[in-house]
Amino acid sequence: MKRNVITLIIAAWVSAAAQPAVADTLIHAGRLIDGTANQAQENVTIRIDENKITAIETGFTRGADDDVVIDMRNGTVMPGFIDMHTHLTSQSEPGSYMHRYTHNEADVAFRAAHFADLTLRAGFTTVRDLGDSFAASVALKRAIQAGYVHGPRVYTAAKSLATTGGHADPSNGSRRGLVESPGPMEGVVNGIDDARQAVRARYQEGADLIKITATGGVLSMAASGDNPQFMDDELEAIVDTARDYGMRVAVHAHGKDGMMRAIRAGVHSIEHGTYMDDEVFELMKEHGTYYVPTITAGRSVAERAEIDGYFPEQVRAKARAIGPLIQGTFGRAYAAGVNIAFGTDSGVYDHGENAREFEYMVEAGMPPIEAIRSATLVAATLLGAEDIIGSIEVGKHADIVAVRGNPMNDIHLLKDIHLVIKDGVIYVQP
């Protein structure tokens, strides 16, 4: 009897050991833009095991009987897109200026989960979130990582850093006493000590990077959309402290003076950059600073400024003046050879429409393949995540999207995504 039990155990172990490995996912790609090259490969098979890319094979591999095969032989396969400027916890809409008085933390969080799902289904498997409320983007990041909700991989700055009265001061436009006087814990900085404390507070609450609003902005309830709003010593204190904590620094800026100060302080990217000129371009190239253009936001606010009552009048004037200029700035920056990473400022327009940015970039003179690379390996490099995402290469996370047809001939195809895989999990499929 004892021998029979042992025999059965051994037989079971041998049987289990002989079971085939978990099935692979095979993507038959008629065209592959891998994120690293300025030309596509044709007729290849991408093999995925769990959450990693394990092989890129010439031709269309048949695979084992239990492998999952996705047929994109008539399409183009690319790395999952990366949007380097999003706001997943909010969305501009009629009446949205009242949301800070009417939305609780739970309202913000549930809306953010919906916006994250829209973003992922649009083909954006990674985003940088550059400014939230209630640190909701930190909670969203953790919920996505845990599998509670669907969304892109999130790198978040949590609350943007502002000066008193500056763009991203949460008390702007409120009567005295309605909103408590904000300080470094709420992201409002006045002086070197505040600057250091504000960075450390973001680190404490789980942010991945720092966002500074170095100039006035379009949508804030303040007079100027482009004046400099941080002193040199404050910017240097933020950058130095962020460096100590392993955090990169993104900078909202429209005006030239604020951009020049921020670039000299050592920030990693300039967002929007409306009033850049040749001197700014040269300084960015000298310092290796990236430009994240957000053309879609500029176009959107200009369009919505023509709707009576959509924006407060103070905001409406700035939207009309600044919004239409960003696409032209992008074209000049590209011609000047500035490093450009894809970013849209989603939330200023409707979430899920991120691919509009590709159209505007191409319209302004960037070739389609370079626009796609700006949203893949170039963006991953700015994130400091190029070893794990941003290209379809063996060993990297299986973040993959695909469209029917050839986006190098028709960039509009990127608005109609047929396949989305993030970390090896299929979220949209043909």
What is the model's pLDDT at position 11? 43
> pLDDT band for position 22 (50/70/90)?
low
Does residue 127 surpass a pLDDT of 90? yes
Nearest to 423 by CA among 24, 68, 53, 21: 53
Q: Which two tokens stand for residue 273?
A: 């950059």
Q: Does residue 135 form part of some domain?
A: yes
Handedness of CA 275, 276, 279, 283 (dihedral sign): positive
The least confident of 45-59, 95-109, 354-368 is 95-109
Q: Cα(148)–Cα(140) distance, rounded to whole angstroms?
A: 9
Nearest to 267 by CA among 240, 303, 296: 240
Q: Is 19 exposed, middle or buried (0-12, 13-18, 19+ CB in 10 A)?
A: exposed
Let me know whether 68 and 105 are in one domain: no
> Rounded to the nearest 5°, which phi and psi values hold at 288?
70, 25
Average the pLDDT over 62-78 and give the result. Answer: 95
Taking only the tens place, the pLDDT of each residue in 335-346 is 999 999 999 999
Let me know whether 144 and 264 are in one domain: yes
Q: Does residue 232 form part of some domain?
A: yes
> pLDDT band for position 15 (50/70/90)?
very low
Does residue 207 surpass a pLDDT of 50? yes
pLDDT > 90: percent of the chain: 86
Taking only the tens place, the pLDDT of each residue in 256-282 is 999 999 999 999 999 999 999 999 999
Let me know whether 223 and 344 are in one domain: yes
Let me know whether 197 and 321 are in one domain: yes
Let me know whether 157 and 290 are in one domain: yes
Average the pLDDT over 209-222 and give the result. Answer: 93
E-assigned strands of 205-279? 210-213, 249-253, 269-272
Instruction: Give 34's contacts (C-beta < 8 A, 6+ positions apart).
Output: 41, 56, 78, 79, 391, 392, 393
Element containing residue 426 per DSSP (H, E): strand 425-428
Q: Cα(203)–Cα(200) distance, rounded to whole angstroms?
A: 5
Instruction: Give 341's contacts (C-beta < 8 A, 6+ positions apart).
Output: 82, 84, 269, 290, 291, 292, 374, 375, 378, 379, 381, 382
Let me know whether 76 and 101 are in one domain: no
Does residue 63 surpass a pLDDT of 70? yes
Q: Does residue 312 form part of some domain?
A: yes
Does residue 294 surpass a pLDDT of 70? yes
- Mean pLDDT estimate for the chain: 93
Let me know whether 329 and 298 are in one domain: yes
Let me know whether 25 and 143 are in one domain: no
Q: Does residue 5 form part of some domain?
A: no
Nearest to 155 by CA among 384, 326, 340, 314: 384
What is the model's pLDDT at position 255? 97
Let me know whether 313 and 424 are in one domain: no
Let me know whether 49 and 134 are in one domain: no
What is the model's pLDDT at position 397? 98
Let me know whether 307 and 184 are in one domain: yes
Q: What pTM, to 2 d.p., does this model score?
A: 0.93
CATH number, position 147: 3.20.20.140
CATH number, position 48: 2.30.40.10
What is the model's pLDDT at position 172? 83
Average the pLDDT over 84-109 and give the result. Answer: 93
Task: Determine the structural domain holding residue 59 and report its residue range.
Answer: 20-80+391-428
Q: Does residue 2 form part of some domain?
A: no
Let me know whether 377 and 402 are in one domain: no
In the chain, how many domains are there?
A: 2
Q: Cα(279)–Cα(306) distance, rounded to whole angstroms?
A: 33
Q: Does residue 14 form part of some domain?
A: no
Handedness of CA 219, 221, 223, 229 (dihedral sign): negative
Q: Does residue 403 form part of some domain?
A: yes
Q: Does residue 4 form part of some domain?
A: no
What is the model's pLDDT at position 176? 79
CA distances (Å), origin 272, targets 154, 231, 288, 329, 390:
20, 20, 17, 9, 22
What is the model's pLDDT at position 12? 41
Q: Report yes or no: 199 and 238 within 8 Å, Cβ to Cβ.
A: yes
